[in-house]
Structure 1
Amino acid sequence: MKRKEILEKKKARDELIKVACAEKDHLSAFHAFRHYQRNGLSACLESGRGDKLSSSLKQYIQNLLKANMEGPYGTEWPVEEKVKRREMVASEARYIFVYEALDASASELLTVSEQERTEAGCVEGRGSMLGFVHFRFVIEEDLPVLYVYELQLEPRVQGKGLGKFLMQLIELIARKNHMGAVVLTVQKANLVAMNFYTSKLRYIISTISPSKVDPWLGTQKSYEILCKSFSNDAKAILEGPGHCEKRQK
């Protein structure tokens, strides 16, 4: 019976991942998140996937990654850059792209069909790109989770609330698809990012992070794995019993 139960749980987990990956537009259920207009910034969002990227999008992703991450990775960057180039075009890679929105005068010049498309997202070429989120639905420690591979924004739009907005959207997507948690990796040297996730968004260092698995090993690694759990199983496995007790009080 135990073997049957284990197999059934595995089948259920695999089915959740399959269904989540099959969704063509993860923004479709969150219309309010298709546009962002705060702090003097006007932007719109679109969904995408790794195996459907245009050559210009690939180049943009590579350039922004290099600009934002070469510093935090230091001497590890040349090797890591190659890894990220492979990851970004994988069939399981899912994206939220952020574009600068047209101003009011420009939007008046749109045709009716273009205006309809604007309601659903961005009109092609409507403005320069401002950043992206690369995420995947994966199994981590036998749990279905949404793993954020990248959250990258242009330096000029950082500090305007857009990153928090995107992570709120990511958490909604994870919950809608019955993922147990959102998981992500942050370079220790990236103090701004570490503070953003732990202080502003209340992510914690996961029990699967090297520093928690083995303190000595943790000192040899340049990163931490952070998480925010939604289910009791995920909290017990990814956050540890101490965090479960605190949240129950």
Structure 2
Amino acid sequence: MANRDELSTSAKHKLIQAAAREKNPLESLPFDSYKSNASEAFKLYCRTKGDMDDKTLKWAFKLAEQNVGPFYKQLKMGWKPKIKQSELNKNWARFLVALNEQKQPVAYTMFRFDMDDGDCVLYCYEIQISPEYRRKGLGKFMMQMLESCARHWKLEKIMLTVLNNNENSLKFFKTIGYVTDETSPDVLKQEEYQILSKSTLG
């Protein structure tokens, strides 16, 4: 069997295509629920953008606007609601959504399977949690689900982008094992964001 470093670009594309063909790429995982330390129960589901209802997509946008809009507004890039709405409505988008005991959405991640700088990756574009449900371990659990998904489909790593002024998010990701990716902008370039990643090999 070929070493991962020796896999051809064609072979890596096939790994991405295999994952992307699945309606629910997390279906094979042995867990779809989470119970917090406070014994709050959450149910999770994964859907393609095409299977998401408009109400939930609108909620997802509003939550992103509430959570990260203020950080974007502090930066030169600014907050661009139309661009964010467009991102959430991409045909390739996958959503992992957490429901509370009242079956209301309280958190989500948006992700896709992709090639990045020659690596086959799961790219997490969003992880947004309603303020009242933070610090309950839910975000960590959802990232663990994505990591398990990436391992199942034999992808090389998970990648994500974090704004430099969002210190809590940077601390969260580094606490759960994410490091600055080799593709992240050089510090001297003074970009307003950085790219983090976590290997899912081995």
TM-score (normalised: structure 1): 0.74
The alpha-carbon deviation at position 14 of structure 1 amounts to 1.4
Structure 1 residue 15 corresponds to structure 2 residue 14: yes
Say yes or no: does 1:229 pair with 2:191: no
Q: Judge conservation of contact 1:99–1:131 (CA < 8 Å) in 2.
A: yes
Q: In the alignment, what sits opposite 2:180?
A: 205
1:216 maps to what in 2?
A: 188
Aligned partners of 2:99 and 2:106 also within 8 Å: yes
Shift in Å, 1:49: 1.2
Secondary structure of 1:101's counterpart equals: coil
Q: Counterpart amino acid of 2:79?
A: P
Q: Which has the larger radius of gyration?
A: 1
Cα pair 1:205 1:224 within 8 Å, conserved: yes
Matched letter for residue 153 of structure 1: I
- Tell me the CA shift for residue 62 of structure 1: 1.0
Q: Is the 8 A contact 1:45 1:99 kept in 2?
A: yes
Cα shift at 1:31 = 3.1
Q: Which amino acid aligns with 1:230?
A: T
Of Structure 1 and Structure 2, the greater strand share is in 2
Q: Determine the C-alpha separation between the residues in 1 that align with 2:88 and 2:36.
A: 29
**What displacement does 1:230 show?**
3.0
Where does residue 143 of structure 2 map in the other structure? 167
Matched, 1:51 2:50: yes
Among all aligned residue pairs of Structure 1 and Structure 2, give the percentage whose two residues are the same amino acid.
27
Aligned: 1:189 with 2:190 = no
Deviation for aligned residue 1:160:
0.4
Partner of 1:3: none
Separation of aligned partners in 2, 1:156 and 1:39:
14
Distance in 1 between the 2:52 and 2:89 partners?
7
Tell me the equivalent position of 2:3. Answer: none
- Which consecutive residues of structure 1, in runs of 5 or more, have no partner in the other structure? 1-5, 103-126, 233-249
1:163 Cα offset (Å):
0.6
| Match of residue 117 from structure 1 | none
Once the two structures are TM-superposed, the CA of residue 38 in structure 1 deviates from its matched residue by: 1.6
SS of equivalent residue, structure 1 residue 150: strand
Deviation by residue 1:142-193 (Cα, 9 ceiling, x = unmatched) = 1100000000000000000001101111100001011100000001111000
The aligned counterpart of 1:246 is none
Shift of 1:53: 2.3
Higher helix share: 1
Aligned to 1:78: 79
TM-score by length of 2: 0.90
- For the 8 Å contact 2:64–2:128, the answer to whether it is kept is yes
Is 1:25 the equivalent of 2:1?
A: no
1:115 corresponds to: none
Q: Secondary structure of the equivalent of 1:90? A: coil
Aligned equivalents of 2:130, 2:78: Cα separation in 1:
19
Alignment-derived partner of residue 121 in structure 1: none
Shift of 1:29: 1.3
Q: Does 1:36 pair with 2:12?
A: no
- The alignment of Structure 1 onto Structure 2 pairs a total of residues equal to 194
* Amino acid corresponding to residue 89 of structure 2 in structure 1: V
- For structure 2, list consecutive stretches of 5 or more residues without a partner in the other structure: 1-5
Contact 1:51–1:90, Cα closer than 8 Å, also in 2: no
How far off is 1:30 after superposition? 1.7
CA contact (8 A) 1:50 1:90 kept: yes
The amino acid that maps onto 1:90 is K
Partner of 2:127: 151
Across the aligned residues of Structure 1 and Structure 2, the Cα RMSD in angstroms comes to 1.7
CA distance in 2 between counterparts of 1:87 and 1:184 reads 14
